[in-house]
Amino acid sequence: MSYIVRILEILDKLPEPLRSLFTVLGIIFAIYLILKVLMKLFRSVENAIRYVKLKVYYPLASHLVKRKHKEYVREYLKNLVSRRSAAPGLGIEYDVDVEWSSEEGVLLDLERGVLLVRIPYTTNLNQVIAKTLLMAAPYAVSQYLEPVFGSRLAQLLSISIAREYASRDVNVLKEFMQYVRKVYEENEEFRKLIEYINRADDVSLYKHIVLHELKRVLEEYNGHVDRNKLEEDVEKLIEIVGSLLDISAPMVCGHYISITIVRVGKLEKVLLEEWSRYVNYIRMCMQKCSTLRRVYVVSAGKFIKEIAKKFIDYVTSNVSGLKLLNQVSYRARCYKGKPGVTQYVAVFEIE
């Protein structure tokens, strides 16, 4: 309080128009602080109401009224899915709704922006949510993913997104893992594919390379692709990204997917004189694969934007037709046994 009195005394001694100016600025600042407190309070109240609805009201009401069960699932899905996107360019952009049905299926209503998941009724709320996340996940990649590959394979290809959403609630995650084991464990081909997906997803490269590439291909062709040829390309890409540390020249030169991956280690430790070897590698890949379309540069370790910019400028100026599409840095779940290591991915397109 003494500070406030002291400030008022100083203001009173200031000549005009300084006194009026500082008075107005003080009022504006005070209003800003009040609004900030009110916004924080409203958010706290909103979060508290949501928590009571999801954790207390709906679970109790759903035991008495079947309709409340569906409302609970809808609200909880919204809570899990709408917090943030799974990765840049990936995420469920539609309102997810649930309809009790004896037959499972997903319907996309583009006009209403609604993804309707049809699923059998059960009183196990977490199981319904886990299963719905898996069924809806393909549409976080592309609206064409499920129509092209069918529900079973499309759900497997987008399983990392569904698992990320499910991991936001430990009970949902438990049901999710049990359901995945039940559905895919008996199929040896699927089981092997899941192993590669898990390895690639540990360092988050599965979303940033495999799903990013799959989304681009499906959107470029509007879903008009040969399923067998694209499936062959995707499976090869998954195996390469899942075994990236063991492959000397990671490249796919397929029917639809033609990319190479450049590993540069820690960007800030790569001397300018050594960058030429990465340029030479890209040129070699372009010679081996005349249809090469994109180059993914990956780096693990401390990320320095200035060094990354210099590297990008160097590569684009020394490789003809190479253009930067996107770059992102994030913390990988695990890299070489270390959790939370910074990962950097830059995507280039060959014009």
Per-residue pLDDT tens digits for 257-271: 999 998 876 665 555
Please indicate, yes or no, whether residues 144 and 287 belong to a single structural domain of this protein. Answer: no
Looking at the fold, whether 79 and 103 belong to one and the same domain comes out as: yes
Q: Are residues 279 and 177 in the same domain?
A: no
Do 162 and 212 sit in the same domain of this protein?
A: no
Whether residue 55 is found in the same domain as residue 195: no
From 136, 155, 186, give the residue that closes a domain. 186
pLDDT at 217: 94
165-183 exposure pattern, b = at least 16 Cβ within 10 A, e = fewer: bbeebeebbebbeebbeee
Read off the pLDDT of residues 166-217 as tens digits, 9 standing for 90 and up: 888 888 889 889 988 888 877 888 888 888 888 888 877 898 899 999 999 9
| Judgement on whether residues 112 and 181 belong to the same structural domain of the protein | yes
264 and 179 part of one domain = no
Q: Are residues 269 and 205 in the same domain?
A: yes
The CATH number for 277's domain is 3.30.110.20
Q: How far is CA 252 from CA 129, 234, 289, 344, 351, in A?
A: 36, 9, 9, 21, 18
What's residue 94's pLDDT?
Answer: 83
Structure tokens at 84: 């943030």
- Strand extents, DSSP E, 33-113: 95-100, 105-109
| Last residue of one domain, picked from the residues 10, 37, 60 | 60
Domain hosting residue 27, numbered range: 2-60
Residue ranges with strand state E in the chain: 95-100, 105-109, 114-119, 251-253, 258-263, 294-300, 322-331, 334-335, 338-339, 342-350
* Cα gap 22→114, rounded to integer Å: 52
Are residues 345 and 326 located together in one domain of the fold? yes
Does residue 294 sit in helix, strand or coil?
A: strand
In sequence order, the β-bridge partners of residue 345 are 298, 328
Dihedral-angle region of residue 222 (phi above 0 means left; psi in -120 to 50 means alpha; beta otherwise): left
C-alpha distances in Å from residue 263, one per residue of 224, 248, 331, 340: 32, 10, 17, 19
Same domain, residue pair 327 and 226: yes
In the chain, the number of structural domains is: 3
φ, ψ of residue 341 in degrees (nearest 5):
-75, 135
- Residue appearing with tokens 């400028």: 313
Average pLDDT of the residues of the chain: 79
Q: Which residues contact 58 (CB under 8 A, 6 or more apart)?
A: 68, 69, 71, 72, 75, 76
36 and 54 share one domain: yes
Q: How far apart are CA 243 and CA 237, in angstroms?
A: 10
Half-sphere CA count of 193, side-chain side, radius 13 A = 25
Q: Which of 130, 155, 186 is the last residue of a domain?
A: 186
In a structure prediction context, what are the per-residue pLDDT tens digits for the chain, which is 351 residues long?
Answer: 455 556 656 656 666 666 666 566 666 666 666 766 666 655 555 555 555 555 555 555 555 555 667 777 787 788 788 755 556 677 888 888 888 888 888 888 888 888 888 888 877 878 888 899 999 999 999 999 999 999 999 999 999 999 988 888 888 889 889 988 888 877 888 888 888 888 888 877 898 899 999 999 999 999 999 999 999 999 999 999 888 878 888 899 999 999 999 887 666 555 555 778 888 889 999 999 999 999 998 887 666 667 777 888 888 888 888 898 888 887 777 666 666 677 788 899 988
Residues 119 and 164 in one domain: yes
Q: What is the pLDDT of residue 270?
A: 57
